[in-house]
Amino acid sequence: MTQDTTTGKLVLPGYRRDDVEAHPPLLSPGYKSTVSRAPRQPLTYLPQRLTEITGPLLGAGRLGELDHDLTRQHDGEPLGQRIIVHGRVLDGDGRAVPHTLVEIWQANAAGRYRHTLDNWPAPLDPNFTGIGRALTDAQGRYEFVTVQPGAYPWRNHDNAWRPAHIHFSLFGRAFTQRLVTQMYFPGDPLFSQDPIFNSVRDEQARQRMVARYDHATTRPEWALAYEFDIVLRGRDATPFEDEDDDE
Ligand SMILES: O=C(O)c1ccc(O)c(O)c1
């Protein structure tokens, strides 16, 4: 870290995570929206002082009973393959991160988001919003019930399709410690042509974004289960993308 001689601010030399292979660079030319979105100036370092790391957190009382169950948020059930997605949130030393907020958002089974900018011709599902949230328990565990999201086209390049995925946002000890990632499903044939998945350059790090099919948790005659642990820091960190409001 160096000090900018004009402003006196501390700045990071270059992009925040270019030197960490596990995380995607903010500028990945094959992933077109990063070309206009990536910062052109060195980033300013924001020290985590009292103001940044204290303040209100979303405690258990603020979560609705069905926030974690995306199949029971409407009068009827959504169409699609019902799935359980569960795992643990861990810090860099493998310790559980308890009572932290995990949020997800995803397309419906047909691959469409309930979002004004998503108007590709796939049906919306009146029984599916695609948003969920949960707090980790004392052992850092979270669980969602949802439906398997569909793949969708996104015009990034010729015949571009996003592999099925679920977006995750996590908070650490404060709202300023937000981390965003995507969870993928094992064996997806669309990985090789997806510049978002491949913006994570390290093969092992890419695999840490792929959930594991979990037969032991799969509930007979009810739902398939996938396990997805999220590691916040360190050698086994789950790749994190830039925080923005993308879909
Ligand atoms: O940043 C984007 O442009 C973008 C587009 C489609 C997605 O599914 C996504 O996660 C991001």
Ligand 1 mean position, distance from CA 224 (Å) = 26
Tell me the backbone φ, ψ of residue 206, rounded to 5 degrees: -60, -40
Structure tokens at 202: 């390290």
Kindly state if the Cβ of 165 falls inside 6 Å of ligand 1: no
Q: Is 162 a catalytic residue?
A: yes
Average pLDDT over residues 204-229: 98
Q: Which of 152, 184, 208, 226 is catalytic?
A: 152
Right CATH number for 50-246 from 3.40.50.300, 1.10.357.20, 2.60.130.10, 3.30.420.40?
Answer: 2.60.130.10
Question: How many Cβ atoms from other residues are within 10 Å of residue 71's Cβ?
Answer: 20
Q: What is the pLDDT of residue 242?
A: 63
Kindly state if the Cβ of 91 falls inside 6 Å of ligand 1: no
pLDDT over 60 at 7, yes or no: no
Q: What is the pLDDT of residue 20?
A: 58
Residue type, position 7, single letter:
T
Q: Whose CA is nearest to atom 7 of ligand 1?
A: 247
Residue with the larger pLDDT of the pair 198 and 62: 198
Query: Could you tell me the pLDDT band of residue 213, with boundaries at 50, 70 and 90?
Result: very high
Ligand 1 mean position, distance from CA 247 (Å) = 5
List, for residues 97-143, the tens digit of each pLDDT value. 999 999 999 999 999 999 999 999 999 999 999 999 999 999 999 99
Q: What percent of the chain has pLDDT over 90?
A: 72
Ligand 1 mean position, distance from CA 27 (Å) = 14
List, for residues 145-193, the tens digit of each pLDDT value. 999 999 999 999 999 999 999 999 998 767 777 899 999 999 999 999 9
Pairing of strands 82-90, 224-227: parallel
- Ligand 1: residue of 162, 165, 183, 198 to mutate (most ligand atoms within 8 A of CB) is 162
